[in-house]
């Protein structure tokens, strides 16, 4: 099987020749590491040997993020940026109802100090931005996918409506599920209409074959309630996934957090797969339990916690991989994966060594029929 055939078989719940192994890295494309700036030198960053191991052992994915937020409009938002210090930037845009700004930390893994929306007034400014459909060129993605067809699989990542609420301060977003719920729903409805138009554009131009949906983690407790998850995630994502399936493409939902109690709800969205299925203590997904409950209805992707891998010995990593495959891979419908993209610069030598050990062990233990 080619790598693409292997990934597609797993996403369809089938048993390929090998358990697919995914490491969030693709040395064949310019942005070789998720979360790492493309101008970072792999040697200086400590990633060179890991990237070489990915070429040998991993199933590579060419991911293209398609922006689908409120600011993705051809209408001129007149954005300007101002350096506030060595690692702080303020972004400002003009809307028909006034100015909006955010402050971000300008470094790998940096966060947001001030979100675009911290008041109802600012939310109304976001909604006032006129929408003119953005139709960026797909040439680079399609040409790269064709060039790498035998070595990498094309994937597009889009946000769902609850993901669009990331413009709002997180604590305020949670509070508003009680005090400004109608406003949140209005924002998601506006976003949903635009997202569906984006999807049509991508699907009609054969982008894919994999679509990753980001956002449901914003509606996982303690940020929101189970009721919020049904209203803010399931009803919208069901329609997105149905549209993607209409074109014969495959889906995965990306959701961090403690989501064991929501596994069946994710099945209800119709998704083909779910990642990263974080184990305890950071998450609460026991892979064998997830396999028993939903493993015949969607592909499971995970569940090697990045922090656990970083702290383990090589022997411990190999045992971790063996146990993960034993729990998730029987019968197919499973992809071995880290729960997070490597983000450290430089990458610690021990973590690099352990990532290579994970990739090697994934191939060694992942051949069907399994012999563990």
- The 10s digit of each residue's pLDDT in 290-345 is 999 999 999 999 999 999 999 999 999 999 999 999 999 999 999 999 999 888 88
Tokens (6 digits) for 85: 């210090």
CB 104 within 8 A of CB 113: yes
Note the pLDDT of residue 107: 74
> What does pTM read for this prediction?
0.94
Q: What is the reported pLDDT for 31?
A: 65
For residues 27 and 203, which has the higher predicted lDDT (pLDDT)? 203
Q: What is the DSSP string of 137-166?
A: --HHHHHHHHHTTTTEEEEEEEE-HHHHGG
DSSP bridge partners of 95: 98
pLDDT at 40: 75
Name residue, tokens 């358990």: 19
Look over the chain and give the mean of its residue pLDDT values, rounded to a whole number.
Answer: 93
DSSP state of 69: S
State mean pLDDT over 73-79: 79
pLDDT in tens, 268-285: 999 999 999 999 999 999
Q: Say whether pLDDT at 36 is over 80.
A: no
Percent of the chain at pLDDT exceeding 90: 80
- Per-residue pLDDT reduced to its tens digit, 127-139: 999 998 888 899 9
Q: Is the pLDDT of residue 32 over 70?
A: no
Q: Does residue 108 surpass a pLDDT of 80?
A: no
33 pLDDT above the threshold of 60: no
What does the H/E/C string look like for 205-259? CCCCCEEEEECHHHHCCCCCCHHHHHHHHHHHHHHHHHHHHHCCCEEEEECCCCC
Question: How confident is the model over 234-273, as pLDDT tens digits?
Answer: 999 999 999 999 999 999 999 999 999 999 999 999 999 9
User: DSSP assignment of 305-370, as one string?
Assistant: -HHHHHHS-HHHHHHHHHHHHHHH-TTS-EEEEESS----SSPPHHHHHHHHHHHHHHHHH-BSSP
Higher per-residue confidence, 166 vs 345:
166
264 Cβ contact partners less than 8 Å away, ≥ 6 residues apart:
293, 294
Q: Residue 35: pLDDT above 70?
A: no
Average pLDDT over residues 176-193: 96
Q: Where are the domains of the chain?
A: 1-62+295-372, 66-74+131-275, 76-116
The pLDDT score that the predictor gives to residue 343 is: 83
CATH number of 66-74+131-275: 3.20.20.210
């Amino acid at each position: 099987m080619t790598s693409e055939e292997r990934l597609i078989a797993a996403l369809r719940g089938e048993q390929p020749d090998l358990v697919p192994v995914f490491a969030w890295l693709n040395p064949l494309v310019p942005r070789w590491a998720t979360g790492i700036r493309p101008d970072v030198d792999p040697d200086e960053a400590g990633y060179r040997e890991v990237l070489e191991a990915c070429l040998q052992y991993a199933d590579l994915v060419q991911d293209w993020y398609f922006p689908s937020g409120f600011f993705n409009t051809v209408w001129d938002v007149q954005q300007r940026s101002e350096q506030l210090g060595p690692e702080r930037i303020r972004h400002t845009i003009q809307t028909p109802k006034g100015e909006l700004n955010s402050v971000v930390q300008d470094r790998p893994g940096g966060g947001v100090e001030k979100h675009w929306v911290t008041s109802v007034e600012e939310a109304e400014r976001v909604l006032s931005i006129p929408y003119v459909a953005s139709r960026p060129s797909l040439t680079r993605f399609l040409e790269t996918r064709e060039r790498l067809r035998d070595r990498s699989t094309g994937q597009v990542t889009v946000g769902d409506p609850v993901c669009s609420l990331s413009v709002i301060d997180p604590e305020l977003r949670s509070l508003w599920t009680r005090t400004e719920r109608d406003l949140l729903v209005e924002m998601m409805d506006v976003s949903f209409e635009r997202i569906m138009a984006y999807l049509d554009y991508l699907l009609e131009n054969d982008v894919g074959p994999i679509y990753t949906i980001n956002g449901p983690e914003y509606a996982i407790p303690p940020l929101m309630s189970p009721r919020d998850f049904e209203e803010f995630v399931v009803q919208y994502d069901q329609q997105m996934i149905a549209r993607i399936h209409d074109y014969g493409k495959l889906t995965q939902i990306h959701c961090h957090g403690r989501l064991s109690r929501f596994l069946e709800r994710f099945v209800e969205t119709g998704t083909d797969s779910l990642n990263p299925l974080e184990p305890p203590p950071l998450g609460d997904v026991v892979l064998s339990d997830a396999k028993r409950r939903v493993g015949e209805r969607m592909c499971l992707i995970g569940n090697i916690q990045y922090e656990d891998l970083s702290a383990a010995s090589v022997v411990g990593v190999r045992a971790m991989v063996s146990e993960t495959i034993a729990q998730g891979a029987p019968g197919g419908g499973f992809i071995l994966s880290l729960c997070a993209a490597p983000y450290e610069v430089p990458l610690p030598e021990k973590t690099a060594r352990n990532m290579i050990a994970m990739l090697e062990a994934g191939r060694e233990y992942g051949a069907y029929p399994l012999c563990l």
